[in-house]
Amino acid sequence: MNTVTAELAVSAPRRLGRFRELRILLVVLAFGIGMEVYTIWQPGMDTEFLSGPTINTILLYLASYAIMACGMTVLLVSGGFDLSVGSVAALASMVAAILMKGQAHLAWPLAFLIGLATGAAVGLANGLIVARLGINPFITTLGTMLIARGLTYIVSGGTGRSGFPDAFHYLGAGKFLGIQLPIVISLALVFVFDFLLRKSRFFRQNYYVGGNEQAAWLSGIAVNRIKVFNYCLSGTLAALAGLLFSARLNAAAPNFGDGDELKVITAVIVGGASLAGGRGTVLGAFLGCVLLAMIRPAITFLQIQDNWEKFIIGAILIGAVLVDRIGRRK
């Protein structure tokens, strides 16, 4: 049977192929170093690109996106999709803000938890509609995106809130080991969810669900439960992102997070996930966030018009998917 064995042997370079994030990591590094070199050599430039303040700005800017991206990656891997995250972030922070500021005057931890629960509830609704009623995730979350945004305006009366308790503000503005808390929290979450999606059997199930739902079910995976869980997770993380954002600004506004869903989905796909499901990692998604977050400061340094940001992000999205496709071809 030696011939059979020989014929079935795989010669593909597997180790390298396993580390999918390598490509985007290299792009991020090349981008960063390229900008660094530019800022050093360019006369009249007083700050470097890879300096503490710039890196801090980038990480702070992407913190809420990175947190949402954790949930979004899990969802995309399982073949799902969540457009409601931006609205949920706004709704959750507004609910917490009203509870802290209004007549209720709730203690901030309680308001914070209720904010998270709001996100989980919208996620639960998404999950139940998608899994139980079988309505397409795009339609479902487009609907809940509008509903959550509408609710935010309704409960807030269309006006913002500001001036929260110091302890709450500290969540967004405080520092841990000299690093602002939202950065610490987002990096910790990225680390945890990347680890879970790689190593834990429970999270690993998502690859099967996204790869082939019927086969996953036949393998004993409770497909519907996973889906509902994923939407809850996505909703909760979106709420957390919104709460941290408003804690940092010490304000909540009904238009917070408008359009964030598309930025997050873009970053996750740039990071290697597919709308078709079955592939993607949290680390890749995080690197996608980093790449997109670097564009705005880069534009400032290069003194290009702001409006190029969207143009560049769109080009990166299509380019990333194209490169990925070419790379996968034999």
What are the backbone dihedrals phi and psi of residue 3, each rounded to the nearest 5 degrees, phi first? Answer: -65, -40
329 binds other proteins (CB under 8 A): no
Q: How far apart are CA 118 and CA 72, in angstroms?
A: 18
Q: Note whether 257 and 85 are within 8 A (CB).
A: yes
Give, for 179, the enclosing helix (H) or strand (E). Answer: strand 179-180
DSSP 281: -
Would you say 212 or 250 has its CB closer to other proteins?
212
> Of 50, 124, 173, 212, which lies in the binding site for other proteins, with binding defined by CB under 8 A?
212
How is residue 279 written in tokens? Answer: 């592939």
Nearest to 122 by CA among 14, 8, 242: 242
Q: Which of 164, 208, 245, 286 binds other proteins (CB under 8 A)?
A: 208
Cα 143–Cα 147–Cα 151 angle in degrees, nearest 5:
170
- Could you say whether residue 207 binds other proteins (CB under 8 A)? yes
Nearest approach in angstroms of CB 180 to other proteins is 31
Task: List the one residue from 72, 106, 169, 218 that touches other proteins (CB under 8 A).
Answer: 218
Number of residues that bind other proteins (CB under 8 A): 35
Task: For residue 17, state whether it binds other proteins (rule: CB under 8 A).
Answer: yes
* Cβ atoms 284, 273 nearer than 8 A: yes
Question: How far apart, in whole angstroms, are the C-alpha atoms of residue 139 and residue 150?
Answer: 16
Q: Is 328 in the site for other proteins (CB under 8 A)?
A: yes
Q: Which is nearer to other proteins, 177 or 201 (CB)?
A: 201
For other proteins, give the closer residue by CB, 219 or 300. 219
Of the candidate residues 221, 243, 289, 292, the single one contacting other proteins (CB under 8 A): 221
CA distance 73 to 281: 7
Residue from the set 64, 93, 141, 205 that interacts with other proteins by CB under 8 A: 205
Give the C-alpha separation, 193 to 70, whole Å. 6
Residues in 184-203 that interact with other proteins by CB under 8 A: 199-202
| Residue 256 touches other proteins, criterion: CB under 8 A | no
Comparison of 203 and 301: residue with beta carbon closer to other proteins: 203
The least CB distance from residue 146 to other proteins, in Å, is 29
Q: Does 14 bind other proteins (CB under 8 A)?
A: yes
Q: Assess contact for 168 and 108: CB atoms under 8 A.
A: yes
From 1-9, 24-32, 108-116, 160-168, give the range in contact with other proteins by CB under 8 A. 1-9
- 294: alpha, beta or left? (left if phi > 0; alpha if psi -120 to 50): alpha
Q: Does 12 bind other proteins (CB under 8 A)?
A: yes
- The candidate with the shortest Cα–Cα distance to 281, out of 212, 232, 220, 210, is 210
Does 80 interact with other proteins (rule: CB under 8 A)?
Answer: no
Residues lying near other proteins in the complex (CB under 8 A) are found at: 1, 4-10, 12, 14, 17-18, 199-202, 204-205, 207-208, 210-212, 214-221, 278-279, 328, 330
